[in-house]
Structure 1
Amino acid sequence: MAKKNSNPSTKIVCPMCGTEFAIPEKTHVAVGIVVGADSGLGTIYPATTGATHAPAPSSQSQKKATEKIEALRKAGVNVDNLFSMKSVSGQEIIARIENGNLSVVSDNDPIFAAIMGRGTVPNRRLFRRWVMAQVFHMLNYKSYRGSKTGFVAALEAKGYKYQWKMVLEEMRVQAKLAAEDPENFTLRNRWFNDGRIIQMGVDYLEQLVAHINKLKVRHCKGVPYVKLGGRNVFTADIQTKVIDPIVKAMIKIGEADTPQKLYSAVNAAVRLIQQWWFTNDACMSQAFKDAYKGAGAYFTMQNLILFHGASFKNGCIKLGQKKSLAMLENKAHEYATSQEGWRLFGVMKKLIADSGINIGKKMEEWRK
């Protein structure tokens, strides 16, 4: 009596419509994944059983699995449990192994939903990944002489000018997002907004006045003046020509009732700041550093939870993706409201530790 094969034959069936995909008798695997329309990964045409032929893809849309892997890996997607399988027609289909079971990855797969449904390709997703890469790099920062290390040292090393250039660019982007992606606008405006910028302006004015008071007073026909911003300014005119216009610019920022008007107001204020005293010798505003920490920690954690399997712990129990995201939102709202973004940075470090994430290894992956 012939011995029965204990291993059942392998079938790949669409969970939505029941279509059985044709696969060869024997095959090989390589890591891979497929994403949707605007991912730039082309179109996959898997053959089906009983079909006389499969649609022929154009040479332009056909891509190797390695190219798909590379595109997604660079976008920060975890592809460890995804594989490409070659069909009988020579086309590659994408499969995933979960708990020992093989299943085809369809376009409405949760992975794709997480990317496409949240509008993360190419804008929001890549922004979060860029922020995460910056945060990890800054966490590993060491000054030239090694006397300063860590995130704050890396931020301060960028210089005072950076805070105004960064905020101006952020307002420009937010003005566009307000119309194109309101949800993303809200998430980013939570950290960088009119209130924060006004605080930065107050810090600047305090340092500007202190700087002016240290300037050498010269005299022209007996009238005292100082050199400020490459210009000669009579001391009697400092308040009306230098200080008051900046104060009015900050008031305009507070009065801006649309993101577009806010960007214009910030742009005008930055021009005044650049005109009179714009130097890296000034100290970064604490309001800016706090917002920078909060935003960096928030988008880094969001990316780690969505695409790198990170999860908060309640004791020894992992909360999972949904509960971890909910916890992140609660903490972000709390610390953004209290203007304690630095506290969220501590939450991020806990998430990294709870999830066993090696920052150095992640950075090495991105360099490949």
Structure 2
Amino acid sequence: MRVGVVGCGAILPQYLQTFAGLTSVQLVAVADLEPARAEAVTADLRGVRALTVDDLLADDEVDVVLNLTVPAAHAEVSLRAMAAGKHVYTEKPFTSTTEQATQVLDAARAAGVLVGCAPDTVLGTGVQTARKAVDDGLVGAPVFATATMLTPGHERWHPNPDFYYVPGGGPLMDMGPYYVTTLVTLLGPVASVVGAGSRTRGLRTIGTGPREGEQVPVSTDSHVTAVLVHESGVLSTLVMSFDGVATRAPNIEVHGELGSLVLPDPNYFDGDVELCTLAERDAGWQVLPVSAGYRGAGRGYGLADMAVTPAGQQHRANEELGFHVLDVMESVLASTASGASVPMRSTAARPAPVPLGDLA
């Protein structure tokens, strides 16, 4: 697939590094609302053109649009790309709302194009090794899981953190996709959720860059706790916070009747998976050998996986999974407002497992 990127922000360099090692995708064009940013990207990339957004969407040399815009623009750019006959792969979240996501799904079916959605970190050896352990019965029947993401706030390092603190942002919508996607990959889709949220202060102070010292207003919850009831009956406890200082809690734990797993940070593709079994509890935690997933994966592997998946088969970082993850997060926020349990309006099949191997 020949790739055109819309949005030349902070995440793009990670995709560029990945594309340099892949043969299934080829970057041919980039565009940004600020033309100088697109031109700066192409300065060191032979054969890659800097275009306007309109010109990129109309370019016959572009097969798929990689949508790296801010979340509020995901739906608009994806819809425009599909109207131009392009496949689409978008950064997380899929869109800002499930209403927008429904429009994107309908448009994709009408246009007959493929749609993919980050995060693709679940395709790496970390989450896939853990999934194989669960599927192979190393923990027995899963009972519950915990997922914890805690940081003092992105304003400490991000020069323009405003979008993290408005509706559509916050710790759940920003970092939740990594954790919820991992939980669905491991334990299956979610049937209902109940959540609660809070915010500790109304202003955040930017800690770096040209706006250092400027204060950003907060209009969304900066701490969210939820319980996800999976269709299988497994319960996952989710803690997403921009209000904590530090934690010793593992990013994700899965507990079953026969054992417990500790996973690496789902924001990354690899890392150790540790197992402690009931039968060998005195031996403590043991690191499992890497047994599944794409070796050496990086951001963009979801797009490459979409490119190599045979026709008629569902690629792994697909639109149904992206929609379901968004539905889970939106429902959690609805529950924080109402105090009631919220049933899911969607479901999604667990993506196909990734055998241990190289996509590059």
TM-score by length of 2: 0.28
Work out which structure has the larger RCO, using CA pairs closer than 8 Å and 6 or more positions apart in sequence: 2
Q: Which has the higher strand share?
A: 2
TM-score by length of 1: 0.28
